[in-house]
Amino acid sequence: MQAIDHIHLKGELFTIGTFHCPTHYPYFHNTGPTEGHLVVFPRTPVCITQAGRRPVITDPNVVMFYNKGQEYQRDKISERGDTCEWFSFSPDVLVSAIQPYDAQVQGRRERPFRFSHGPSDPESYLQQRLITEYVRQTDASDMLYVEETLLATLNRVIENSYRARYGRSPDGKHTTHKEHLDLVHAVKTILATRYHEPLTVKQIATEVYSSPYHLCRVFQKITGLTIHAYRTQLRLHTSLECVAQPGTSLTQLSHALGFSSHSHFTASFRRTFGASPSTFRRSASTRSVRQMSNFLTV
């Protein structure tokens, strides 16, 4: 049996993959240098020694960092071999994520990770597993959801790693509150008329002249919602009047709003309003829904 490295999704900002190397694989100890800047969540215990660094016993409580081209050696801990989820991020994303904790990262863009590993907190470990399963099982992944979830996970593991080593708060430059408000306003302006489009974080960030990482962090800080959650709420609130009209095709409406399928729309609608679109249609008149819509805030 050979080592298996499977890519599940490749986006503009990241690549998501899984890796498995059995202990009897001839090149178990050395599968070659890394091909990207990687954040790795181990599932099985294994000993990893990056060139020039001390050995690390990796397991699900550890997150590993690899700069592109990193040489390393793998040694067996258990018969389960080496199994992990890995996430490759672009240099721009990593610099934006690391800079608040390490201003010197701008001078080492080719090797943004200063250390080999950090702690894997429960939320980050759960989210990376969920997002990997999501892209594996979903043909048309919601890229905005995937991007925001991964960037939030990246932020947590980077922050936890720096705090574990240096015990300090971010030391990067902070924009003013007014600039944050202006940025959020610009994003809301885009979403107000384009909520139905499959926009990505990269596309929105480009239009508002921000980095994807900074955009996600500021938007959630100001609004209390991720961009994905805000857009979904906007879609659902917009749907109410149409849902109440008997002649509206719910399948066509779901696609017009930007949902991947009728079932996706129905699940989101039920989760938000406590009833399915068809049930809501039977119980509400067009007039009452129009009145109700006036009180919904997005």
CA angle 55, 59, 61 (to 5 degrees): 110
CB 235 within 8 A of CB 193: no
CATH level 3 topology of 232-293: Arc Repressor Mutant, subunit A (1.10.10)
* pLDDT value at residue 170: 52
* pLDDT value at residue 97: 95
The percent of residues above 70 in pLDDT, for the chain, comes to 91
Identity of residue 26: P
What is the chain's mean pLDDT, rounded? 87
Q: Is the pLDDT of residue 292 over 50?
A: no
pLDDT tier at 260 (50, 70, 90 boundaries)? confident
Long-range residue pairs from 24-29, CB within 8 A, at least 24 positions apart, any chain: 25/1, 25/81, 27/3, 28/3, 28/74, 28/76, 28/81, 28/82, 29/73, 29/74, 29/75
Q: Which of 92-96, 178-182, 205-209 has the lowest mean pLDDT?
A: 178-182
CB-neighbour burial class of residue 207 (10 A; exposed 0-12, middle 13-18, buried 19+): middle
Beta-strand ranges (E) seen in the chain are 4-10, 14-21, 38-42, 46-50, 56-58, 62-66, 72-76, 82-89, 117-119
* pLDDT value at residue 296: 45
Q: How far apart are CA 204 and CA 187, in angstroms?
A: 7
* pTM for the model: 0.74
Q: What is the pLDDT of residues 122-142, one digit of tens each?
A: 889 989 998 999 998 887 678
Q: What is the pLDDT of residues 142-179, one digit of tens each?
A: 899 999 999 999 999 999 999 888 875 555 444 478 88
CATH classification (class only), 4-166: mainly beta
Q: Is the pLDDT of residue 113 over 90?
A: yes
pLDDT tier at 2 (50, 70, 90 boundaries)? low
CA angle 107, 204, 153 (to 5 degrees): 60
CB 277 within 8 A of CB 248: no
Q: What is the pLDDT of residues 234-254, one digit of tens each?
A: 888 878 778 877 788 888 998
Q: How far apart are CA 69 and CA 220, in angstroms?
A: 34
* pLDDT value at residue 173: 47
Q: What is the pLDDT of residues 85-102, one digit of tens each?
A: 999 999 999 999 999 999
* pLDDT value at residue 293: 45
Q: Is the pLDDT of residue 29 over 70?
A: yes
The percent of residues above 90 in pLDDT, for the chain, comes to 50
List of residues 6+ apart from 292 with CB closer than 8 A: 240, 284
Structure tokens at 19: 């890796």
SS3 percent helix, strand, coil of the chain, rounded to 5, is 50, 15, 35
Starting at the edge strand that comes first in sequence, how are the strands of the sheet with 46-50 ordered?
56-58, 46-50, 72-76
Q: How far apart are CA 192 and CA 155, in angstroms?
A: 27
CB 170 within 8 A of CB 101: yes
- Higher pLDDT: 289 or 90? It is 90
* pLDDT value at residue 178: 83
CB 73 within 8 A of CB 48: yes
Q: Is the pLDDT of residue 50 over 90?
A: yes
Q: How far apart are CA 124 and CA 144, in angstroms?
A: 18
pLDDT tier at 283 (50, 70, 90 boundaries)? confident
